[in-house]
């Protein structure tokens, strides 16, 4: 998942998700890792809009997107 976080379709998501993965993946439980795996299958343009607050994320990903946004903003 680290590699998939670093090799996205757009550079912005490479940076955001690789920083998130480095900080959080090792601490995530199996359910959270499943959610993150599903998130990695989403379109990068959608992910970027969700993480930056341009659009609301789907409910199933809202908590994870919120955590990624916090990591990205610090």
State the DSSP string of 4-57. Answer: HHHS-SSHHHHHHHHHHHHHHGGG--HHHHHHHHHHHTS-HHHHHHHHTTSSPP
d(CA 65, CA 67): 5
Residue whose tokens read 């090799």: 7
Q: What is the pLDDT of residue 61?
A: 94
In order of start, what are the domains of the chain with their CATH numbers?
A: 2-73 (1.10.150.250)
Read off the pLDDT of residues 10-25 as tens digits, 9 standing for 90 and up: 899 999 999 999 999 9
What's the mean pLDDT when you consider all of the chain? Answer: 92
Contact criterion met (CB below 8 Å) for 51 and 68: yes
Q: What is the pLDDT of residue 72?
A: 75
Q: How far is CA 73 from the centre of its chain?
A: 13
Contact criterion met (CB below 8 Å) for 61 and 9: no
What pTM was computed for the model? 0.86
């Amino acid at each position: 998942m680290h590699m998939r976080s670093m090799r996205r379709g757009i550079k912005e998501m490479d940076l955001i998700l690789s920083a998130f993965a480095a900080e959080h993946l090792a601490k995530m439980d199996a359910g959270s890792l499943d959610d993150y795996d599903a998130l990695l299958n989403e379109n990068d343009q959608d992910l970027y809009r969700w993480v930056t607050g341009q659009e609301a994320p789907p409910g199933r990903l809202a908590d994870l997107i919120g955590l990624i946004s916090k990591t990205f903003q610090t």
